[in-house]
Amino acid sequence: MFYMYVIKSHEGLHYTGMTEDLEKRLTEHNEKKLSFWTKRGTKWEIVYKEEYPTKSEALKREKWLKSGVGREYLQNILGEK
């Protein structure tokens, strides 16, 4: 399975990504081993996730959630609007 996920830092930053191993990826974000972008935050937590059977489906959803309409959808889901 593949996961599209949204994490939030202690500082209020958000990051949207895709992975096969969600717990490992979260650990990597918190240990600052991954994305340059997530190195700016601390204490990342998963605030939203979706599961997909294929990588292409998860990537397609990730791309949509990074669009203007997708970001608005996430704000509504996360109650941040």
What spatial distance separates the first Cα and last Cα of the chain, rounded to whole Å? 31
The pLDDT of residue 43 is: 94
Domain count, the chain: 1
Question: CA of 23: how far to CAs of 28, 29, 44, 64, in Å?
Answer: 9, 10, 11, 23
The pLDDT of residue 18 is: 96
Q: pLDDT-based confidence at 81, cuts 50/70/90?
A: low
What's the length of the chain? 81
pTM of the model: 0.90
For 20-78, strand residue ranges (E) read 45-52
Domain that holds residue 57: 2-77
**pLDDT, tens digit (0-9, with 9 covering 90-100), for 36-70:** 788 889 999 999 999 999 999 999 999 999 999 99
Residue 17's domain is classified under what CATH number? 3.40.1440.10
User: CB of 16 within 8 A of CB of 4?
Assistant: yes
